[in-house]
Structure 1
Amino acid sequence: MSAARAAGPVVVALGGGHGLAATLRALRLMSDHLTAVVTVADDGGSSGRLRNELGVLPPGDLRMALSALCDDSEWGRTWSGLLQHRFTSAGGLDQHAVGNLLIVALWEQLGDTVAGLDWVGRLLNAQGRVLPMAAVPLAIEADVARLLPGPDGPVLTRRVVHGQSAVAVAQGTIEQIRIVPADPPACPEAIAAINDADWVVLGPGSWYTSVLPHLLVPELAAALHDTPARRCVTLNLSPEKDRETDGMSATAHLRVLHQHAPDLRVDAVIADPRAVEDVAPLEAAAAEMGARLLLRQVGTGDGTARHDPLRLAAAYRDVFDDFLGDVGTATR
């Protein structure tokens, strides 16, 4: 593992969507050596339409990660806003994001997914690199259990839900997820980044459709298990209402992660105390994975379930510097 650089540690952040974007906005404040490894299973909205029509990786989560890495300058804010801009029309462009079209156009021009993303990053002056977790589009399947009324009382039913957008809103309890194909080729650059990292960060985000899929790509999972980097899990601020983790506690999130990767060692878990119902079982779940629990207020002060970049960056700094106690007591 490489030593921490003067411009910050080498960090790889894994996830997708708004959760990964929150992580990147925080990490860019403390390191110039960032790589985002992004899920490629989205099948809804603009991304799903482009994926189905052109056979490309879904670009939406990749676009959001690039946008999050734009710096807080006029240049960065302008390009970030442009990437996120969506058309409104009565035609085929309706709800397509400009950034999605730009990314896919570069893929067609260059014939190289990673090179296209690197060129977008150069255009934006992005403070880091964005990579897909797999070289082909993936689908997510979930086993979902649900209690339904029956003539003699509730009946437990199970069904298989196909597709990320369907899994995200499936009613019931997700018991297990899979990816299709089951053994896709991982992005080689993503594997190299994980092997060269000082820290790997998982979460926050949609647990079953943005965080856990990284542990289901065999080559990527092997790299996450074998890397000399240390590993940090960032828990969500609140359960996602009417979404895939509705009603799940912080402890349940961690236990589901452990269920899908029982041999994965984690060094630290970050949780906002407002999102923790009972600290003791969460500490125990973290310890089962080899981790120490860091309780820090990382959400905004307005009561919404959004991470504050400065607070989250401060929490990551404490983790990376081994200050995991309530009063900043070094643990190593």
Structure 2
Amino acid sequence: MVTGRSPAVVALGGGHGLSASLSALRLMSDRLTAIVTVADDGGSSGRLRSELGVLPPGDLRMALAALCDDSEWGRTWSALLQHRFTSEGDLDNHAVGNLLIVALWEILDDPVSGLDWVGRLLGARGRVLPMASVPLGIEADARVGDRLTTVVGQSHVAVTPGIEQVRLVPPDPPACPEAVQAIEAADWVVLGPGSWFSSVMPHLLVPELARALHTTRARLCVTLNLEAETGETAGFSAADHLDVLHKHAPELRVDAVVADPSAVEDTDQLARTARRTGARLLLRQVSRGDGTARHDALRLAAAYRDVFDDVLGDVDDRTG
């Protein structure tokens, strides 16, 4: 699908949500940068982070795997990165890609260079960068009945309903300089889909990254989830996700919102909410259509192409 000079696109997020957007974006741009949250504190990533003091590699690994070429080479390396050991010992549940990434970090003493080398090995169609230069923690305010309680750690935030606000620890971490530069040079920035509080919102809370998002000449496209999660966004409507975005970054300009009609309870409400951020709403089937809440790479790529090319035939333009 890549034709002519493709746009420079930066995709923000983490985990399976970022993998979905990257799997689509790699089909329509050869100038692609993924900027990945680095707050994971669970599983293999959490163990490596705690033991070695490194950035949690898991979400970075998933982004690299999503960018592997759709060839025997790419599919094999993608499967290797995602492979997890099963044992009765210390290697149990460690992902091979996590160990590979951390080993390169130790050899090169440079997280960005290490990720670039992994990308070269895989033939990745794009670059993967960490959101910040240091491992981050996440705290959240969650409402339980009529009181607020503090939830600490990404793995706990992700499974806690009633989240209202998230914070980073430390509150003013240094951004990855290359990530800031990528946003400043982009034509489009894509935010979401993904775990809204624990993977998407953190990008708006790193001061240098937030400043770049507010001042870049790039246009911003928000991709909404296909369903509310059982934890942090339980009971959320599609419009609620945009309200949370506005609450965390009230001055952020949004140009387009992509949503699957099957995940929108009230189209008029979502269109009005999008319009308050300056955005127009593109309603398009981007799910696989097999009953699972998973994005179809080709359908999502086609939606992004229409947004990037200002093809507005199916974009909601109603007023009210």
Fold equivalence (TM over 0.5): yes
1:57 aligned onto 2:45: no
Specify every segment of 5 or more residues in structure 1 that has no aligned partner in the other structure, as ranges.
148-155
One-letter identity of the residue aligned with 2:308: F
Aligned to 1:263: 251
Rounded to whole Å, the distance in 2 between the matches of 1:317 and 1:184 is 34
Shift of 1:326: 2.0
Aligned to 1:221: 210
User: How big is the alpha-carbon RMSD for the aligned residues of Structure 1 and Structure 2?
Assistant: 1.4
One-letter identity of the residue aligned with 1:314: A
C-alpha deviations, 1:291-331, integer Å up to 9, x for none? Answer: 000000000010100000000000000000001232899xx
Larger Rg: 1
1:188 aligned onto 2:186: no
Note if contact 2:173-2:206 (Cα within 8 Å) is conserved in structure 1: yes
Specify every segment of 5 or more residues in structure 2 that has no aligned partner in the other structure, as ranges.
none
Rounded to whole Å, the distance in 2 between the matches of 1:250 and 1:79 is 35
Q: Which aligned pairs between 1:138-217 and structure 2 lie closer than 5 A?
A: 138-147=136-145, 156-170=146-160, 172-217=161-206
Aligned to 1:120: 118
Aligned to 1:150: none
Note if contact 2:282-2:315 (Cα within 8 Å) is conserved in structure 1: no
Q: Structure 1 length normalisation: TM-score?
A: 0.93
Which 4+ stretches in 1 moved above 6 angstroms?
none
Note if contact 2:287-2:293 (Cα within 8 Å) is conserved in structure 1: yes
Secondary structure of the residue aligned to 1:159 is strand
Q: Which aligned pairs between 1:81-96 and structure 2 lie closer than 5 A?
A: 81-96=79-94
One-letter identity of the residue aligned with 1:312: L
Q: Structure 2 length normalisation: TM-score?
A: 0.97
Aligned to 2:239: 251
One-letter identity of the residue aligned with 2:175: A
Rounded to whole Å, the distance in 2 between the matches of 1:5 and 1:26 is 15
Shift of 1:157: 2.3
Rounded to whole Å, the distance in 2 between the matches of 1:328 and 1:161 is 37
Note if contact 1:7-1:33 (Cα within 8 Å) is conserved in structure 2: no
C-alpha deviations, 1:182-211, integer Å up to 9, x for none? Answer: 000000000000000000000000000010
Shift of 1:281: 1.0
Note if contact 2:197-2:232 (Cα within 8 Å) is conserved in structure 1: yes
1:295 aligned onto 2:293: no
Note if contact 2:283-2:316 (Cα within 8 Å) is conserved in structure 1: no
C-alpha deviations, 1:226-265, integer Å up to 9, x for none? Answer: 0000000000001112x11011000000010011000000
Note if contact 1:200-1:230 (Cα within 8 Å) is conserved in structure 2: yes
Number of residue pairs the alignment of both structures matches: 316
1:282 aligned onto 2:270: yes
Note if contact 1:250-1:275 (Cα within 8 Å) is conserved in structure 2: yes
C-alpha deviations, 1:117-167, integer Å up to 9, x for none? Answer: 0000000000000000000000000001012xxxxxxxx122100000011
One-letter identity of the residue aligned with 1:235: L
Identical counterparts, % of pairs: 74
Secondary structure of the residue aligned to 1:142 is strand
Aligned to 1:313: 301
